[in-house]
Amino acid sequence: MRNRNTKIVATVGPSSSSPEQLRALFDAGVDMFRLNMSHGTHDDHRKRFEAIRAMEKETGRPIGILLDLQGPKLRVGTFAEGPVTLVNGETFRFDLDNRPGDKTRAYLPHPEIFAAARPGVQLLLDDGKIRMEVEEHGEDYAIGRIITGGVLSERKGVSVVGAVLPLAALTEKDYRDLEFGLENGADWVALSFVQRPEDILEAREIIGDRALIMSKLEKPAAVERLAEIVEASDAIMVARGDLGVEMQPEEIPPIQRRMIKMCREYGKPVVVATQMLESMIHTPTPTRAEASDVATAVYEGADAVMLSAESASGKFPVVAVEMMSRIVTSVEKDPDYKRILESTMPKASATIADAICSALRQTADILPLAAAVTYTTTGSTTLRAARERPLVPIFCLTPSTETARRMSCVWGVSAIVTRDLEKVSEIVAFATDAAKGTGVAKDGDFIAVTAGMPFAQSGTTNLLRIFQIGDR
């Protein structure tokens, strides 16, 4: 049992790939591991899959694995004489001529950009360090005026602001990585650069029910269709790094809060990511601003917070996880945390499942509950219970190992794999063993159980049973 509700996702990389390092991260507080397919080979990631599953067997705790697809990467071509300097006010041309570029033009092997370009559309180069505004365009070129100049070297990334690019959600590399990840048992698949709900539907046709989909929101176009994307996804990642490239810094905090709030309303897990403890890549302590950033995500009700380079390639991966865990724990002990969660509680829908789970939270407020227990096959009952944010441990009892692993990024949930249960009395018995076995409850304590009857049918949450341990 963790002593906190908000989960921690950590990216695996050169600093954290050995079985010993992965176990140290798990012991420090990691609930889900992220495999970033932008880096490393399939052989590298296969070893990580095997090490995580071996650790899962050793610890007896379901551990989620998030396969993060690279998505479409837009990059400029090469330059004949090395980096060029782009000067404010001058013009620069991109085209489909694959010859090395110079100070006046460069190869841009992405006709989709030219198809979407219009006067006023901005092209951001090298993570937004250089900005240019399109003045003229055709099927195979675009000419823009430099707004913010700088030195541009080859293969730097390009972002487009002010247009939705006609790009496929998955590249050829993504297809290969996705099949690899599904064959090795990935629990979640993160889709990069989602722009519209159709991107998610395209991926779901391939993934089916083999994994759940976490949409990474890192494009302004996605913000414009936020509700549709949240509804089509199984979870959301607030990917603030790329989002911050294409939007002004002051726009990101309210957008983050809006995303978290909408995910709460839809009952979808939400992970806040990127640059959370960035300075800990090189130093053993974060800045106070970074600590406050993590705390803000927790206060706003995020299901999980994520480490990227801090755990993948940083010098202090275990220390970074320990620090993040301490920050989360400190926030959740703050009396204001409970008041904030209550004030942001989403309105329940007129459904039996919402009525049951809302009653569960109210019961936790009235009775001194030791734990809330859900019995579920697909995880839907647990997700609805977690949406209510009852301030007691939530045990997810499930006969599905896959479902148990998928709960590793859901607020407040500890998953336990059981056999198929056929009677409410069996659920009560397992709930009692789980609560007492983890030290959460003792004889005389109250526990609430939710489930759907008949069992093993998704979306049938209709049971709330309250009992006292030891009550005959």
Question: What residues are labeled active site?
Answer: 34, 75, 216, 274
Q: How far apart are CA 289 and CA 267, in angstroms?
A: 29
Phi-psi sector, 390: left (phi>0), alpha (psi -120 to 50), beta: beta
> Letter for the amino acid at 9?
V
Specify whether the CB–CB gap between 52 and 33 falls below 8 A.
yes
**Could you give the C-alpha distances from 384 to 179, 387, 414, 453, 461, in angstroms and in order?**
30, 5, 15, 16, 9
Longest dimension (CA), the chain: 84
- Sign of the torsion angle spanned by Cα atoms 291, 413, 1, 63: negative
**Could you give the C-alpha distances from 231 to 52, 170, 197, 276, 278, in angstroms and in order?**
31, 20, 8, 26, 31
Among 199, 219, 203, CA closest to 259: 219
For the beta carbon of residue 60, count every other beta carbon within 10 angstroms: 8
Among 297, 299, 237, CA closest to 268: 237
Q: How far apart are CA 405 and CA 54, in angstroms?
A: 14
Among 240, 299, 291, CA closest to 264: 299
Running DSSP on this structure, what letter comes out for residue 75?
B
Specify whether the CB–CB gap between 235 and 210 falls below 8 A.
no
**Could you give the C-alpha distances from 430 to 83, 421, 422, in angstroms and in order?**
65, 9, 12
Q: Where are the beta strands (DSSP E) in 57-191?
A: 64-68, 84-86, 91-95, 105-107, 122-125, 130-138, 141-148, 150-152, 158-161, 188-191
Residue for token pair 């603030």: 240
**Could you give the C-alpha distances from 96 to 83, 113, 114, 142, 293, in angstroms and in order?**
19, 11, 9, 10, 42
Among 80, 222, 225, 101, CA closest to 161: 222
Angle between helices 335-343 and 288-299 (to 10 degrees): 50
Specify whether the CB–CB gap between 108 and 158 falls below 8 A.
yes
Residue for token pair 């970033």: 36
Tokens of 175: 């297809």
Specify whether the CB–CB gap between 229 and 196 falls below 8 A.
yes
